[in-house]
Structure 1
């Protein structure tokens, strides 16, 4: 379930904040005349301003996400400048990340908080599911959906490769098996699968 915010919001000092189109103008991503066109189409068609901006490809994805974050009063995070945390990846399975289009940024077990980049930070179902799954309070961050998809497909694989590399330090070329390694995607890789990966890596070393 996704929460539906009002067309306008209020800032922390109580002042009314404009619509999505207004915020895009204030952030320099959209000119005033285009913003007015978006509002007119919204009235004529009943579409949301976000749908109109997307349909007409008026602004880059990053600009739209930043504006939505400002509208919903949610922090924006640039994944391209954010290092992946192996601990956070280990806490949230890849299947869950793919299902809800989220990516774990960092996990603080003492405070029981998980910083989570989300394609839809208003998705209450996703937040509740992740909280139940991890036992941590989700701190949502808005991020570009395309970057989240890319990070899910590359960072989880990178984390697995690092684990296999560590396993190589514990085995010799003649060994058939190594201890089961914790895996972020499904929980554990079977011993036989890890041994197969290790053998392939040794063959091409």
Structure 2
């Protein structure tokens, strides 16, 4: 991957002037943000221009995260705190490669950290910053729900639990069902959802949330639910 700086790329593409770059660098120092974020925020360039420049100059693939279903198991390759700190989200795995959606594919520290935690070779992909943030919320929001569902299935299969133990778990909010509901509510808050819809069938549960006025499916859970 080339190590050319973003500012130089945009200058060569004729998208900004030296004066605009100087102004943006001052804003960046004050606001402690990535240069690309600063340039878009202050309307020097559009997000599409930023993405196109990085995609062409670096020769990496653009990914539209709104059209991708990221499986919950991806969360085990990159920890939630790292994903949020670096604004990256794992998309898929192929043998020894981890495809990583990034708002800033020039963030080599993020690539190295993801490589260390996943023990995979990182293939960076560029995505818009809002799309990456939303994908992080979706992936790691579903992570807690998925763990709770596994525990619910295990609890249903087990027959040795005593009633006193169960009552203590309920009082401490530790039962899998309570953790599942809490995870869904936390997800709704992070997405600014106005309402939550649970649509159970005989063998599964579909969860939808109304986000920005649109009802969207956010999770699909297989298996019967028992409290």
CA-CA distance at 1:3 after TM superposition? 4.2
* Mapped pair 1:93 → 2:79: yes
Task: Quote the Cα distance in structure 2 between the aligned partners of 1:145 and 1:83.
Answer: 17
* Mapped pair 1:39 → 2:17: yes
Structure 1 or 2: more strand by fraction: 2
Task: Quote the Cα distance in structure 1 between the aligned partners of 2:55 and 2:147.
Answer: 35
Task: Quote the Cα distance in structure 2 between the aligned partners of 1:164 and 1:52.
Answer: 39
Secondary structure class of the residue paired with 1:152: helix
CA-CA distance at 1:54 after TM superposition? 2.2
| Structure 1 unaligned regions, length at least 5 | 10-17, 22-34, 178-190
Conservation of the 8 A alpha-carbon contact between 1:20 and 1:68: no
* Mapped pair 1:140 → 2:124: yes
Aligned length: 162
* Mapped pair 1:170 → 2:170: no
Task: Quote the Cα distance in structure 2 between the aligned partners of 1:63 and 1:114.
Answer: 26
TM-score (norm 2): 0.57
Cross-structure match for 2:189: none
Q: CA RMSD in A?
A: 3.8
Equivalent position to 2:54, from 68, 77, 81:
68
Query: Residues 68, 196 of structure 1: CA spacing in aligned structure 2 closer, same or farther, 3 A cutoff?
Result: same
| Structure 2 unaligned regions, length at least 5 | 26-34, 168-172, 185-226
TM-score (norm 1): 0.62
Equivalent position to 1:130, from 94, 110, 114:
114
Please list, as runs of the form range in 1=range in 2, the aligned pairs for 1:97-136 lying within 5 A after superposition.
97-108=83-94, 111-136=95-120
Q: Deviations over 1:69-97 (max 9, x none)?
A: 22222211111111112232222110111
